[in-house]
Amino acid sequence: MKIDSIIFDLDGTLWNATEEICEAWNIVLNRHPNIGRTITTEELGKNMGFTMDEICMRLFPELDENLQVKLMKEFCEEEEIYLGKHGGKLYPKVEETLGKLSESYKLYIVSNCQDGYIQCFFKAHKLKKYFTDFECWGVTGLPKGQNNKIIMERNKLNKPVYVGDTKGDYESAKIAEIPFIYARYGFGNSEEYDYVIDSFEEILNLV
């Protein structure tokens, strides 16, 4: 592969933070006994990759829109506190692999998360030093494909590749007209891809 940079998805690609997010969200839900439910890691895992407002609508379709918005705000605030302190679970050899990749390529993150979420990943695991830039739905309000384009234009990237674990990640790479590396070990599923890896460190064999 002849590339000059690598853009990564976060959830299901670099880390798995579903247990930690569930802890944070259930703290919020305990403040709302009228809702009368908690969230499981299985439920959350099935919805990773969507934007926060989409996740809230999918998990709480019975609630009116105003309450969904209120919950989403509280979830984001509690999540940032919890993840900033505890972090998530990095996939095996993520830091070692990022270190090796950063010696030859500029590294970026584009995610459908809220603003502050990627910063928690950096803070908890001290990984910001490997990345040049990042973008997310929470800042731009745009889908991942458009945010890929923003990163490419802002950093003058000529031959980037996108690494992610879902069909949506594949589609975002196609929108940006860049190759897609499918992280098959992650949450999602994509039948279409340009390259595939079954562990994070396998990317070293491709680039």
pLDDT of residue 152: 98
pLDDT digit string (tens) for 20-59?
A: 999 999 999 999 998 888 899 888 888 887 888 888 889 9
**Are residue 12 and residue 34 in the same domain, yes or no?**
no
Strands 15-16 and 89-90: antiparallel
**Are residue 158 and residue 188 in the same domain, yes or no?**
yes
**Are residue 60 and residue 159 in the same domain, yes or no?**
no
Q: How confident is the model at residue 1 (pLDDT cuts 50, 70, 90)?
A: confident
Cα atoms in the Cβ-side hemisphere of radius 13 Å centred on 50:
13
**Are residue 44 and residue 112 in the same domain, yes or no?**
no
**Are residue 163 and residue 185 in the same domain, yes or no?**
yes
Residue that is written with structure tokens 């949506």 in the block? 168
Expressed in percent and rounded to 5, the helix, strand and coil fractions of the chain are: 50, 15, 35
Distance CA 11, CA 113 (A): 9
Cβ–Cβ under 8 Å, residues 114 and 55 = no
Distance CA 6, CA 170 (A): 14
Angle between helices 18-29 and 65-86 (to 10 degrees): 130
Residue 197 belongs to domain spanning: 5-16+89-206
Distance CA 157, CA 102 (A): 15
**Are residue 26 and residue 105 in the same domain, yes or no?**
no
**Are residue 96 and residue 70 in the same domain, yes or no?**
no
pLDDT of residue 44: 87
**Are residue 29 and residue 57 in the same domain, yes or no?**
yes
How many structural domains comprise the chain?
A: 2
pLDDT digit string (tens) for 126-159?
A: 999 999 999 999 999 999 999 999 999 999 999 9
Q: φ and ψ at 166, to 5 degrees?
A: -130, 165
Residue that is written with structure tokens 């989403």 in the block? 72
DSSP helix/strand/coil, 187: coil
pLDDT digit string (tens) for 70-117?
A: 988 999 899 999 999 999 999 999 999 999 999 999 999 999 999 999
